[in-house]
Amino acid sequence: MWISGRKGFQAKTRTNLPLFEVEKGKLKINPLAGWAKADLDAYFETHALPRHPLEAQGYLSIGCMPCTSVVKPGEDPRAGRWRGWDKTECGIHGGDDADVTPFDPAQQPVF
């Protein structure tokens, strides 16, 4: 089992992110899939959570060092990821060639 921090609002490719999916035989849970940016900001505020220090330097989507760059004014927050590459996800989240099967929504538990 794997619990991911991916959120549906982060990119067009994540808009229909399911709560549960199976990738390469492992259950992947995306508990924040349905959260909006406002939900995330409110959670940080309500629980007095600190923001990542790189956000103040313009890194609005943070991954590993080689795939993360500063987002320029007016750019999409994910523009700083994989700049200059034909990629939208790193290897840990699969991609077009990944063996990913979303669970049937009718089969997903209600929380």
64 an active-site residue? no
Extract the tokens encoding 56: 């103040």
- Residue 7 to residues 14, 29, 73: CA-CA distances in angstroms? 7, 11, 22
Extract the tokens encoding 9: 């609002």
Distance in angstroms (rounded) separating the CA atoms of residues 68 and 74: 17
What sections of 5-104 are H helices per DSSP?
A: 37-46
One of 19, 29, 90, 100 is an active-site residue; which one?
90
Active site members? 90
